[in-house]
Amino acid sequence: MLSSKASCISHGQDSSYFLGWQFYEKNPFDVVKNPAGIIQMGLAENQLSFDLVESWLRKTPDAMGLKNKEGESVFRDLALFQDYHGMPAFKNELVEYMAKIRGNKVKFDPKNLVLAAGATSANETLIFCLADPGEAILLPTPYYPGFDRDLRWRTGVEIVPIHCSSSNGFRISMHALEEAYERAQKLNLKVKGVLITNPSNPLGTTMTRDELQNLITFAIHKNIHLISDEVFSGTVFDSPCFISIIEAAMDSNLERNADVLSRIHIVYSLSKDLGLPGFRVGMIYSNNQTVVAAATKMSSFGLVSSQTQYLLSCMLANKKFTSKYMKENQRRLKKRKEMLVSGLKRSGINCLKSNAGLFCWVDMRHLLSSNTFEAETDLWKKILCEVRLNISPGSSCHCSEPGWFRVCFANMNQSTLEVALRRIKGFVERSRLNYQQNMGGFSRRLLSNWVRKLSSADHREEHER
Amino acid sequence: MGLLSRKATCNSHGQDSSYFLGWQEYEKNPYDEVKNPRGIIQMGLAENQLSFDLLESWLAKNPDAAGFKRDGQSIFKELALFQDYHGLPAFKKALVDFMAEIRGNKVTFDPNRIVLTAGATSANETLMFCLAEQGDAFLLPTPYYPGFDRDLKWRTGVEIVPIECSSSNRFQITASALEEAYEQAQRKNLRVKGVLVTNPSNPLGTTMTRDELDLLVNFITDKEIHLISDEIYSGTVFSSPVFVSIVEVLKDRNLENTQVWERVHIVYSLSKDLGLPGFRVGAIYSNDPIVVAAATKMSSFGLVSSQTQYLLSAMLSDKKFTKEYIAKNHKRLRKRQSKLVAGLEKAGIGCLESNAGLFCWVDMRHLLSSDTFEAEMELWKRIVYDVKLNISPGSSCHCSEPGWFRVCFANMSEDTLTLAMQRLKSFVGSTASNDRSHQEMKNSRRKFRTKWVFRLSFQSFHDREQDER
């Protein structure tokens, strides 16, 4: 009766990424009302710099009140504005902002920018433009769990993973690219492109120039596309400096620049840098005119509210604000990340060295009972139910090695992070103690009790509202 | 072009139709009372520009709604972070109440069954993805909104099979037309998944009769298929007969909580009633929990900005305002439609009798040089280029009879409409006299006719260049 899309589960929402979220919803931490609740550390939101935006809003009431600089109402024009080419003033500001994030080392043409209702919409639209059902896109692992839905569900396109490993900091090697391509061929899947997230989610690292050059060379060689999801580009808070794919492509060492540029497409959004996921502002940037034309028409299915386009075009037009915001936001992200890293270190837990993003890629391999994904899931459940932290297990990000977790740091206040770190410390100490006791030949009964208590449903129910 | 997808390189976005081409011509030479009084008047855009003052006045009295404040407190952070695809509860509640109010509160809607989307464009496409596979078909009565060719078919791969309606019975849907369409789909080896109707109709401007609605319910029950009722114009019903929603019919026939109940889905939007197409507010309403669940997840690809959800939840929760708005808006639409109808009448042109919408379905069959679509195209071009009115030819709406045009009346000022009617009257007058002299010339020397024809076409070419900016 319904379509297979409606009745199947390939929207990917049965993964632990979403299940942990559901658990949290039933028992959310609140410092006053529910101090024993689950702390949400699985949501990559930036809540650190709202005060800066709110201060700008207070000084600029007309932007909210739909009035122009002369105090005249622009309500009517905005109410009627549904042009899928997007508001020119807004696009002009966006490309300038994007260039600023890249240290003005590249310049963008607003005509090549297509607005979409969030990066979710932008990514899906790009896939509709670049691949037919049954074709494939290569993605380096680990990757954002949402891609399983965004890139595949309604498009019918497949994802083939490029396996990356901790042995080299999860960097993408030429070998891994070739291996993934061959795997796709063996599966009879025609590869149409590679999609990378740079800075990476969930790693929090920026790509090196070498990695980018490898990717470009690979794309040219295989005659495929390269999508660079740069939604976290404004969250680079530490060196090395962010290098955009466009910058790498402009490298004079590369021949056939126009050809290269026609196969590179960037996705951006204001959800992560500016912390405005609710406003649904995403975009595609491409030098390929056919892609721009098709994506523009497709954006009809997810246009950005003109009310929002207007507000944000006013905000981004204020260069003093954007400069101050970028600097201060990055400073706060760096500080918060360092707090997480040092806190974890005190518990004997290391993170992948990172310079961007709203999360750390945390190494808990030493806490696994065995080097398996089952053990990772057990550990994840313990952390969710006993430690009461919702973090994302590496398996939900298709990581090929068990024991890694993505832990967000920017979606809570400082004292909440302190609570979370204390809980982790307590958990690690208890685990160590129990391990020692176990190893010391303590009675089996006690161990069984402890194991039983940890995994019992009662324990969960106690905390559920 | 193997590097891009077929969707990116094909033409099934339907944007080569005259609907969009006329728009483009208008863009090159748009009418402006002061700056370009001889420009093209846009009468091809179904927008409601008649009641903005009411909205602006509400906004002025309620600055907190746009100012991210609730009870004087800033809720900016909460809204900035709100991306829950279940939608803002207060907004969904206000929206279903508004939908019920439009239907005279004869039916009620459950906010848990509504899914918000970025406009009806997104809602319709999402419903296709939920109800049909690539290669399946939906039946649509003609004439229909040209955008459906893109919205329903492009990325979904679903086909449209027309239910041919004719002027002989005011373009109403008949049982035989439904059966004929179904059989046509079968002959094409297309599996029919449902029927999609627009009620009130675009481009007809009429509301469906209870008989038509009963017919549809019977048909979808018999064939075990879906019914999508696109009711985006439900708030623009300005005169009798009163709007009867499909849900009202199901209720009256005691079909609530039956299988057919779960196969009827409504699409709504605030773009037409409230005149807010820029804000991208659409919705799907369904009694099938699986459809609601799937559509909710799919709405991730086109969520409504939380900033906009909040503003409109405040506005639609103001029942005093909504009551006043609905009444005044109807009054203004009715008045404006009458003006168009009267103006056309003075030019000897009739319309289909209508009680809703932002346009009239105009009968220009008598102005065609022959009863063909080629003649309709010729007439349309003359109206766009010579009369300088952008109206929509029936062929772009897949009408099976040539000579009908959709003419919008709510997207311009009253003066502009008056001017448009004057132009049309002159055109018809000169066409009539040209026809007469044409007849005379036919009886006299051929030479004259040749010269006259040459002069006319040269003149229109010249005019075009002169007016292009």
Contact of A1 with B223, CB cutoff 8 Å: no
Nearest-Cα residue of chain A relative to residue B11: A294
Instruction: Say if A279 is an interface residue toward chain B (CB within 8 Å).
Output: yes
With H, G, I as helix, E, B as strand and everything else as coil, classify residue B296. helix
Burial A379-399 (b: 16+ CB within 10 A, else e): bbbebbbbbbbbbbbbbbbbb
Between the CA atoms of A309, A315, A316 and A317, what dihedral angle is there, to the nearest 10 degrees? Answer: 100
User: Mean pLDDT, to the nearest integer, of B59-69?
Assistant: 95
Contact list, A302 vs chain B (CB under 8 Å): 118, 122, 301-302
Count of CB atoms situated within 10 Å of the CB of A314: 22
The number of beta carbons lying within 10 Å of the beta carbon of residue A250 is 14
Residues in chain A closer than 8 A to B119 (CB atoms): 82, 300, 303
User: Is A80's CB within 8 Å of B297's CB?
Assistant: no
Is B350 strand, coil or helix?
strand
d(CA B340, CA B333): 11
Q: Are B232 and B301 in contact (CB under 8 A)?
A: no
Please judge whether A132 and B298 are an interchain contact, meaning their C-beta atoms are less than 8 angstroms apart. no
What mean pLDDT do residues B228-242 have?
97
Test A280 with B133 for CB contact under 8 angstroms: no
Whether A47 sits inside 8 A of B55 (CB atoms) is no
Q: Which of A58, A83, A307, A310 would you mutate first to test chain B, the one with the most B CBs within 10 A?
A: A307
The answer to whether residue B69 scores a pLDDT higher than 50 is yes
At residue A463 the predicted structure's pLDDT band, cuts being 50, 70 and 90, is very low
Smallest Cβ–Cβ distance between B3 and the set A73, A223, A306 belongs to A223
B175 close contact with A: CB closer than 8 A: no
Q: Does A158 touch chain B (CB under 8 A)?
A: no
Residue B272 annotated as catalytic = yes
Evaluate the omega torsion of the peptide bond into residue B146 and state whether it is cis, within 30 degrees of 0: no
Identify residue A278 by its one-letter amino acid code. G
Beta carbons of A268 and A282 less than 8 angstroms apart:
yes
**B15: pLDDT strictly greater than 80:** no
Sign for the CA dihedral angle at A29, A35, A37, A42 comes to positive
Q: Is B113 within 8 Å of B93 (Cβ atoms)?
A: no
What's the CA gap between B75 and B72, in Å, rounded? 9
Q: Which of B15, B288, B298 sits opposite A154 (nearest CB)?
A: B298
- pLDDT grade, residue B10 (50/70/90)? confident
Which two three-digit tokens encode residue A177?
């690219």
Predicted confidence (pLDDT) at residue A108 exceeds the cutoff of 70: yes
More confident residue, B3 or A292: A292
Q: Is the pLDDT score of B333 beyond 90? A: yes
For chain A, say whether B77 makes contact (Cβ under 8 Å). yes
Nearest-5° Cα angle at B17, B14 to B20: 95
**B214 burial type by CB count under 10 A (0-12 exposed, 13-18 middle, 19+ buried):** middle
Q: Are B14 and B149 in contact (CB under 8 A)?
A: yes
Question: Which chain A residues are within 8 Å of B310, Cβ to Cβ?
Answer: none
List of chain A residues whose C-beta atoms are within 8 Å of the C-beta of residue B290: 2, 6-7
Residue B72 backbone zone (phi > 0: left; psi -120 to 50: alpha; other: beta): left
Helices (H) and strands (E) in chain A, counts: 19, 13
Strand ranges across the sheet with A350-351: A350-351, A359-363, A404-408, A392-393
Q: Chain B contact for A99, CB < 8 A? A: no
Q: What pLDDT score was predicted for residue A437?
A: 72
Q: How many of the other CB atoms lie within 10 Å of CB of A52?
A: 17
SS3 letters for B96-156? HHHHHHHCCCCCCCCHHHEEEECHHHHHHHHHHHHHCCCCCEEEEECCCCCCHHHHCCCCC
Residue B343 distance to chain A (closest CA, Å):
26
Looking at CA atoms only, how far is residue A431 from chain B in angstroms?
36
Pick the range with the lowest mean pLDDT from B1-5, B287-291, B444-448: B444-448
Helix (H, G, I), strand (E, B), or coil: what is residue B1? coil
User: What ipTM does this complex have?
Assistant: 0.91
Question: What average pLDDT does the segment B194-215 reach?
Answer: 98
* B4 with A149: Cβ contact below 8 A: no
> A263, A273, A11, A46: which is closest to A147 by C-alpha?
A11
Would you give the distance in Å from CA B259 to the centre of its chain? 29
Q: Is residue B230 among the annotated active site residues?
A: yes
* Portion 378-397 of A in contact with B at CB < 8 A: none
pLDDT of B443 > 60? The answer is no
Give A364 to chain B, closest Cα distance, Å: 30
pLDDT over 50 at A131, yes or no: yes
Strands A191-197 and B41-42, by their bridges, are unpaired
Distance CA A20, CA A358 (A): 18
Q: Answer whether A117 touches B (CB < 8 Å).
A: yes
Q: How many residues does chain B have?
A: 469
B349-406 pLDDT tens trace: 999 999 999 999 999 999 999 999 999 999 999 999 999 999 999 999 999 999 999 9
CB count, 10 Å around CB of B300?
22
Phi and psi, residue B115, nearest 5° = -120, 125
Which stretch of A328-332, B107-111, B449-453 has the lowest confidence by average pLDDT? B449-453
Task: Return the residue matching tokens 């699986």.
Answer: B290
Helix ranges restricted to H, A347-413: 373-385
For the cut 60, the answer to whether the pLDDT of residue A405 exceeds it is yes
Cross-chain Cβ contact B13/A276 below 8 Å: no
Q: How many CB pairs under 8 A join A and B?
A: 215
Taking CA–CA distances from A1, the nearest residue in chain B reads: B131
In the numeric block, the tokens 């994506």 are attached to A295
Instruction: Give the integer Cα–Cα distance in Å for A117 and A121.
Output: 6
- The question of whether B266 is a catalytic residue gets the answer no
The CA distances from residue B53 to A454, B59, B239, B325, in Å, are 63, 10, 22, 10
CA distance A355 to B397: 55
DSSP, collapsed to helix, strand or coil, labels residue A196 as strand
H helix or E strand, kind and range, residue A285: strand A282-286
Q: How many CA atoms lie within 13 A of B213 on its CB side?
A: 21
A3, A82, A298 ranked by CB distance to B277: nearest: A82
Assess contact for A141 and A400: CB atoms under 8 A. yes
Q: CB A3 to CB B130 under 8 A? A: yes
Interatomic CA distance for residues B231 and B123, integer angstroms: 12
Spell out which residues of chain B touch residue A75, defining contact as CB-CB under 8 Å: 52, 55-56, 59
Contact B280 A305 (CB under 8 A): yes
- The verdict on whether B102 is a catalytic residue reads no
Pick from B1, B224, B278: CB nearest A82 = B278
A57, pLDDT greater than 50: yes
In B306-374, DSSP assigns E strands to: 350-351, 359-363
Compute the distance between CA of residue A393 and CA of residue A402 in angstroms, rounded to an integer: 9
Contact between A305 and B307 using a beta-carbon 8 Å cutoff: yes
Asked if the C-beta of A193 comes within 8 angstroms of chain B's C-beta atoms, the answer is no
What is the identity of the amino acid at A327? K
A220's enclosing H/E stretch is helix A209-222
Spell out which residues of chain A touch residue B304, defining contact as CB-CB under 8 Å.
280, 305
- With bands split at pLDDT 50, 70 and 90, how would you rate the model's confidence at B12? low
Among partner residues B154, B302, B308, which is closest to A308 by beta-carbon distance?
B308
Write down the catalytic residue from B97, B136, B149, B230: B230
DSSP for residue A363? E
pLDDT number for residue B452: 43
| Token pair listed for A102 | 């890249």
Enter the DSSP assignment of B263. Answer: G
Report H helices in A264-372.
289-298, 306-317, 319-346
Q: Is the dihedral of CA A412, A413, A415, A418 positive or negative?
A: positive
Query: How far is CA A181 from each of CA A137, A188, A395, rounded to the nearest angstrom?
Result: 9, 11, 22
Structure tokens at A66: 């739909």
By mean pLDDT, which of A65-79, A236-250, B42-56, B448-462 is the weakest? B448-462
Give the count of beta carbons closer than 10 Å to the beta carbon of residue B445: 10
Question: Which chain A residues have a beta carbon less than 8 Å from that of B49?
Answer: 76, 80
B2 — pLDDT class (breaks 50, 70, 90): low
Alpha carbons A262 and A82: distance in angstroms, whole number: 28
